[in-house]
Chains A and B, each alone.
Chain A
Amino acid sequence: MKKFVALLLVLTLCLSVCFTASADVADVKLGVILLHDENSTYDLNFINGVNDAAAALGLSEDQIIMKRNIPESQECTDAALDLADEGCTIIFANSFGHETYLLDAAKQCPDVQFCHATGTRAHTEGLDNFHNAFAAIYEGRYLAGVAAGLKLNELKEAGKLKGEKPLMGYVGAFTYAEVISGYTSFYLGAKSVCPDVEMKVQFTGSWYDYNEEKNAATALIAANCDLISQHADSMGAPSACEDANVPNVSYNGSTVESCPNTFIVASRIDWAPYFQYIVNQAAAGEAIDVDWTGTIDTNSVVLTAINEQAAAAGTAAKLEEVKAALVAGTTKVFDTATEGFITVGGEALTTYMADVDTDDAFTPDTEAVADGYFHESEYRSAPYFDVRIDGIELLNQMY
């Protein structure tokens, strides 16, 4: 009898624990503010992240409210306050320009948690309920770069390079740290397996402009680039590559369906782990990190399936090996210790003051090079690597 009672007690305890845990998640209501809608690959990536996290946590439909097409203006503050009125306990916004307006709403609603992707101000504003998040996408770019380097090696061995040295082209949006960090890590990934590679970068001055991106890629191909990659959200560059039969390493998602002959692999940020994290923290009543940086280890940075038709032989195995080294920390993306890997004006990079704390004058404030590597995304979540290194030629800038 005693055993039975004990068993019953234990069972009740277990059940109650399970019950309270799920009841807590049921109390969370997530409001999501999106700059555009499903038609933008950038926003679609966030919508997919929310839906995946909701499925994993068992959130019901009425626990999530999405506001689409919210511009970077007072509209964002209004939208956030409206979500708070609707009972949201966490409010998330996905565009860089939303930040100052979301901060306003955060000051007015101290009981609601505000999370902002790609922003830079959480660690200096000192609000308890305002948080920034990003992912160490440079790890994904580096891996994608390795795949590119292997492809260049294959072309070189087959004598199919357009010039004497392997040359990559890169279509970037703005001359901004996020983009610079992205193309530099991509270049370094390629350089780690193909040491004599060089790269040209063309900026478009827009995050989404099909024609500009296609024109930039076409111009780079005409300038003898053997392979193209991009940091912009349209299909412009990938389709230019498919037309010209030039290999392409993509971003945000696989383009294999429209580019079966040229798509190699793509890197992207998976936001689902972050949404799961903030919902769980809010449910447990725990604080959300002021700056949260997802990594390749937490599955926040992922690569799509490799297109064997375009990729060099042995790419998958090599990527597994490099990924393991990145996770273990034995390989650093921005490795300043290895001689000749990162140089600026022929000199090794031994010191760099990065602009980590956003102020009106954008003054550099933090030493980022230490222990033989550049500490990207460690002092805040958003990228701040904006060094112009040797081997990369910027065809234009200042957008």
Chain B
Amino acid sequence: MSEQKKTSVHEPLFHLAKRSSVNPVRATLIRVAAIVLGMVVCGLVAFVLIEKLNQNPGKIGDFYNCFIKGSFGTERKLWKFLKNMAVLQCISLAVTPAFRMRFWNIGAEGQTLMGVLGSITVAFYLGGKIPEWQLLILMFIAALIYGAVWGLIPALFKAKWNTNETLFTLMMNYVATYVVSYFLVIWVPSGSSTLGKLKFGKLPPLPFGNQYLLIILIVLALTALLFVYLKYSKQGYEISVVGESVRTAQYSGINVQKVIIRTMVVSGLLCGVAGYLIGAGLDQSVTTESVGGQGFTAIIVSWLANFNPLMMIVTSGLISFLNSGAAQISQDFNVSGALPDVIVGIILFFIIGCEFFINYKIVFRKSEAAGKGVTK
């Protein structure tokens, strides 16, 4: 290609070339550099936006310290950070099997919300009427069914009629929100649509350690399970083949429709677990905001980890760390609640942007004569 180009009259100043191989050490260095650069830009933006900072530039140290303080400042903050990370990790696990199949499921928000609704529906009608342990089991089963059904519907349409799964799963999120609104109207006759914390159906904490420890351990176990499922099981292999090429899969005798449906049910089941952890483990209630956008954040977590469940521990940790730090900045500097979004957004921009430089290199015109690409 470059030989041909050389003969052309005009050559652009630089062009992009895909790297033939990705050096993992260099990739890691680029990612770290991107985070550092993102942090520096955040500091500059903060100088402009935060009044307390531009009046007193010495406080920039406090600004960065907020990131540490937000997640590790006290023991309680540490456990809260781990809990947030675990819930986000669980939803990220849920979206992963479908993503590996190139099935762009952006319906985790709705599937998880349905999981919360399923468990709370059982707690609302049966709470106090049957023993607590039976209630908790029934809540779990209901969460699994609700989540799985919400994942199954778009999969059926995709498999039978090849509908666009992205639009379909997105739409299902809105439907889930309205289903929750509907039940809140029925359940709360005073009209406030606020159910409040239910008295029954609380996942008991472990006899030792923090109240959130159980949730964290459950998600760790799921992470290991999903890793093994995707990497070593026949079903996991089928998912990868369908993701690589549907035609190859068909040629090798894989029933693609069946794989699509089965994988989306797995995704839905995992969302159901996440919904159960939120409904029975944390809130003991349901609102339209119960999942709070984590179903969408999970997409980035999974993608950044290259759809690898073990790597997701790092990426979900990073996102949770940034969120807690940014919230701490809003609190300590008494600035608008929109600032955390700006900060997290800037850093994500750099992290996602750097993936481009890991996979592509910039080749400048003059350097081509030397036959060497200058990378940036």
Chain A contacts to B: CB under 8 angstroms: 34, 36-39, 61, 64-69, 71-74, 78, 81-82, 85, 96-97, 99-101, 103-104, 174-179, 205, 355, 362, 386, 398-399
Complex formed: what's the CA distance from A179 to B191 in Å? 10
Known: A36-B337, A74-B283, A175-B191. 8 other contacts (CB 8 A): A68-B337, A72-B285, A97-B287, A99-B196, A100-B197, A174-B192, A178-B192, A399-B191
> How many residues belonging to B are interface residues under a CB distance threshold of 8 Å?
30
27 A-B residue pairings within 8 Å (CB atoms): A34-B337, A37-B338, A38-B336, A38-B337, A39-B337, A39-B338, A66-B331, A67-B327, A68-B331, A68-B336, A72-B194, A72-B285, A72-B287, A73-B282, A73-B285, A73-B290, A74-B283, A85-B74, A96-B192, A97-B287, A99-B196, A104-B197, A174-B192, A175-B191, A362-B189, A398-B191, A399-B185
Give residues 162-198 of B contacting A (CB, 8 Å): 181, 185, 188-194, 196-197
Q: Does B334 contact A (CB under 8 A)?
A: yes
Give A38 to B190 CA distance when docked, in angstroms. Answer: 29
CA–CA, A397 and B33, complex, Å: 56
Task: For the complex of A and B, list the 3 residue pairs with the smallest distance between their C-beta atoms, beginning with the closest.
Answer: A37-B337, A68-B337, A176-B191
CA distance A208 to B208 in the complex (A): 43
With A71-B289, A82-B77 as given contacts, are A177 and B191 in contact (CB-CB < 8 Å)?
Answer: yes
Whether B191 and A61, one on each chain, are in contact in the complex, defined by CB atoms closer than 8 angstroms, is no
Q: Known: A174-B192, A176-B190, A176-B191. Contact between A205 and B76, CB under 8 A?
A: no
**A39 contacts which of B285, B327, B336 (Cβ < 8 Å)?**
B336
Q: Max chain B CB contacts within 10 Å: which of A97, A99, A362, A398? A: A97
Bound complex: CA A65 to CA B69 (Å)? 15
- Chain B residues 188 to 218 lying within 8 A of chain A, measured CB to CB, are 188-194, 196-197
Which residues on B sit within 8 Å (CB–CB) of A38?
336-337
Q: Max chain A CB contacts within 10 Å: which of B185, B194, B285, B330?
A: B194
Shortest B333–chain A CB gap in Å is 10
Q: How far is the CA of A96 from the CA of B192 in the complex (A)?
A: 9
Chain A residue at minimum C-beta to C-beta distance from B195: A97
Query: How distant is the Cα of A178 from the Cα of B191 in the complex, in angstroms?
Result: 10
Q: Does B80 contact A (CB under 8 A)?
A: yes
Residues in A whose Cβ lies below 8 Å from that of B197: 100-101, 103-104
Which of B188, B190, B330 counts the most A-chain CB atoms under 10 A from its CB? Answer: B190
- B292 CB within 8 Å of chain A: yes
CB distance from A177 to the nearest CB of B (A): 7
With a cutoff of 8 Å between Cβ atoms, the chain B residues found around residue A82 in the complex are 74, 76-77, 80
Contact of A100 among B196, B327, B340 (CB under 8 A): B196
Nearest A residue to B75, CB-CB: A85
Which residues in window 265-299 of B have CB below 8 A to A? 282-283, 285, 287, 289-290, 292
Q: Of B193, B292, B327, B330, which contacts A71 at CB under 8 A?
A: B292
Instruction: Determine whether the beta carbon of A73 is less than 8 Å from that of B283.
Output: yes
Task: Please give me the residue from chain A that is nearest to B79 by CB atom.
Answer: A78
- How far, in whole Å, are A73 and B196 apart by their CA atoms in the complex? 8
Are the C-beta atoms of B76 and A177 separated by less than 8 Å? no
* Chain A residues whose C-beta falls within 8 Å of the C-beta of B188 in the assembled complex: 362
Residues of B within 8 A of A355 (CB): 190
Q: How far is the CA of A21 from the CA of B181 in the complex (A)?
A: 50
Separation of A37 and B331 alpha carbons in the complex (Å):
11
Q: A81-B76, A85-B74, A398-B185 are in contact. Are A177 and B190 (CB under 8 A)?
A: yes
B192: chain A residues at CB < 8 Å are: 96, 174, 176, 178
Alpha-carbon distance between A355 and B190 when the two chains are bound, in angstroms: 9
Name the distance in Å between B9's Cβ and chain A's nearest Cβ.
Answer: 55
Assess whether A72 is in contact with B191, with CB atoms less than 8 Å apart: no
Given the complex, which residues of B lie within 8 Å of A362, measured CB to CB? 188-190
- CB-CB under 8 A from B340, the residues of chain A are 69
A174 to B191, CA, bound (A): 6
